[in-house]
Amino acid sequence: MRTVEYTRQGEAAQVLTLREERHRPTPGSGEVLVRMLVRPIHPGDLIGVEGLPGQPEQQSQARTPGVEGMGVVESVGASVRAPRLGQRVAVFPAPGTWSDFVVVPADLAVPVPDGVSDETAALMLVNPLTLRMLYRAVEKALRGQAGPVLQTAAGSSVGRLVSAAAARHDLQLINLVRSTSGAEKMRTLYPSQPVIATCDDDWRAQVRLHAGERGVQVVLDCVGGAMTQDLAELLADGGTLISYGHLGSGTTPLEALPLVARALTVRGVSILRWMSRTPMERAQDVAFAQDLAQSTPDLLEVAASYDLADFKAAVEHARRPGKSGTVLLTTPRKAGSGHGAGR
Ligand SMILES: NC(=O)c1ccc[n+]([C@@H]2O[C@H](COP(=O)([O-])OP(=O)(O)OC[C@H]3O[C@@H](n4cnc5c(N)ncnc54)[C@H](OP(=O)(O)O)[C@@H]3O)[C@@H](O)[C@H]2O)c1
């Protein structure tokens, strides 16, 4: 079995290595062993490998990146009733999916609906569940108003899910991207939503124009860094900045934000908190994700697929400006296994 791992944080191309071993993990009681077939490279996976500026290194032992993916159930531990042997499943949270095998609690191995491709299934959980968490945070911050909401990195995989949800729910959304070509792509996908490129000198004035008299009520931000101050200044008094990612560079001290004088709220949202939702809420979120994968798989776009062993080229692709969708790492299906006929 092949496993990508790192023993210290640093530049992914330098610290990630591929280890091969004969040993396979064994599922304990209530667990299943999943033969992984496809797993995404999420920006958060790379933050785990590389760390964030100014934060202490969090590393004590060898770790394998990846928190989600899809595969087939290879073996089951004691007292597992579902999923069945050979069934296709999507897994999350499943630390260490950049490996040929992963052991997960049986209730975190979600059956892949018939007709959903392996590639779509590998993207079925993290981003759709993030969308649910972001949308709830936006609704809470808006307190019944229709917006406007300003989102950064609108062309990202998560950003496009937000745009689709806003279009469905008549939420007034202003999309921010960093390039003119990115803005053109978004205008084609969501013509009714204003798109502004931050490479334009007057992008702040454009945001104010589109926000109108009410001003921006909520900013949904995954860029952060040096941009945070601009975003906070674009908020209307009493508005909320929801931070959920760190794609940008630089930092903004809290003291630089007009929080007190303008009664602004800053809150974070993380998929890593999803397990604290009740089992019933999680079941509803998972049903939403399964339905999205079946009904609108184009919202879970694949940028490219690479064999797990080509993880360095795959990571480079995942970081390429202008990329559209998510890069996947794949493992060939076992010859003659007969398990989990895909699509
Ligand atoms: N908090 C959570 O639980 C959670 C969960 C999932 C994702 N996220 C976050 O959501 C964000 C998007 O993830 P994703 O998987 O959707 O990403 P993705 O599909 O890889 O897309 C990345 C996008 O970000 C843009 N971008 C990259 N660097 C940028 C910068 N410095 N300034 C402005 N735009 C930049 C790229 O634009 P170009 O087209 O211009 O290259 C691209 O559209 C990430 O920050 C990720 O960590 C958070």
**CATH code of 30's domain:** 3.90.180.10
pLDDT of residue 52: 82
Helix 180-189 with 157-169: angle, nearest 10 deg: 40
- Cα(54)–Cα(62) distance, rounded to whole angstroms? 22
Residue 341 lies in a domain: no
- Number of Cβ within 10 Å of residue 158's Cβ equals 24
pLDDT tens digits, residue range 4-54? 999 999 999 999 999 999 999 999 999 999 999 999 999 999 999 998 877
- Cα(221)–Cα(266) distance, rounded to whole angstroms? 11
Residue 316 lies in a domain: yes
pLDDT of residue 341: 37
Residue 119 lies in a domain: yes
- The CA R_g of the chain, rounded to the nearest whole Å, is 21
Cα of 156 vs centre of ligand 1, distance in Å, is 5
Q: Is the CB of 248 under 6 A from ligand 1?
A: yes
Considering the domain architecture, whether residues 80 and 136 belong to the same structural domain is answered as no
pLDDT of residue 280: 97
Residue 339 lies in a domain: no
Considering the domain architecture, whether residues 170 and 48 belong to the same structural domain is answered as no
Of 223, 242, 234, nearest in space to 262 by CA? 234
Using CA positions, which residue lies closest to atom 30 of ligand 1?
Answer: 248
Considering the domain architecture, whether residues 196 and 325 belong to the same structural domain is answered as no
Tokens of 30: 């209530």
SS3 39: strand
Q: Is the CB of 43 under 6 A from ligand 1?
A: yes
Cα of 126 vs centre of ligand 1, distance in Å, is 13
Residue 246 lies in a domain: yes
Q: Is the CB of 92 under 6 A from ligand 1?
A: no
The atom of ligand 1 lying closest to the CA of 274 is 3
Cα of 268 vs centre of ligand 1, distance in Å, is 15
Considering the domain architecture, whether residues 10 and 96 belong to the same structural domain is answered as yes
pLDDT of residue 340: 39
Considering the domain architecture, whether residues 96 and 193 belong to the same structural domain is answered as no
pLDDT of residue 59: 63
pLDDT of residue 343: 35
Name the CA dihedral angle for 235, 236, 238, 241, rounded to a multiple of 10 degrees. Answer: -20
State the alpha helices, DSSP H only, in 16-171: 43-50, 118-122, 126-142, 157-169
pLDDT of residue 230: 97
Residue 9 lies in a domain: yes
Using CA positions, which residue lies closest to atom 39 of ligand 1?
Answer: 322
Whether the Cβ atoms of residue 82 and residue 106 lie closer than 8 Å to each other: yes
Considering the domain architecture, whether residues 13 and 140 belong to the same structural domain is answered as no
Residue 86 lies in a domain: yes
Q: What is the CATH number of the domain that holds 219?
A: 3.40.50.720
Give 39's contacts (C-beta < 8 A, 6+ positions apart): 66, 68, 69, 70, 97, 98, 122, 328, 329
Range of the domain at 72: 2-124+300-330
Considering the domain architecture, whether residues 116 and 155 belong to the same structural domain is answered as no
The structural domain count of the chain equals 2
- Number of Cβ within 10 Å of residue 78's Cβ equals 9
By most ligand atoms within 8 Å of CB, the mutation choice from 134, 158, 185 for ligand 1 is: 158
The atom of ligand 1 lying closest to the CA of 249 is 31
pLDDT tens, N- to C-terminus, the chain (343 residues): 999 999 999 999 999 999 999 999 999 999 999 999 999 999 999 999 998 877 777 666 899 999 999 999 999 999 999 999 999 999 999 999 999 999 999 999 999 999 999 999 999 999 999 999 999 999 999 999 988 999 999 999 999 999 999 999 999 999 999 999 999 999 999 999 999 999 999 999 999 999 999 999 999 999 999 999 999 999 999 999 999 999 999 999 999 999 999 999 999 999 999 999 999 999 999 999 999 999 999 999 999 999 999 999 999 999 999 999 999 999 998 744 444 333 3
Q: Is the CB of 178 under 6 A from ligand 1?
A: yes
Considering the domain architecture, whether residues 134 and 106 belong to the same structural domain is answered as no
Cα of 22 vs centre of ligand 1, distance in Å, is 36
Considering the domain architecture, whether residues 75 and 109 belong to the same structural domain is answered as yes
The atom of ligand 1 lying closest to the CA of 222 is 45
Q: Considering Cα of 28, then 32, then 35, then 39, what sign does the dihedral take?
A: negative
Considering the domain architecture, whether residues 232 and 314 belong to the same structural domain is answered as no
Triad 286, 244, 208: Cα angle to 5°? 120
Residue 294 lies in a domain: no
Can you spell out the DSSP letters for 273-315? GGGGS-HHHHHHHHHHHHHHHHH-GGGS-EEEEEEGGGHHHHH
Considering the domain architecture, whether residues 175 and 81 belong to the same structural domain is answered as no
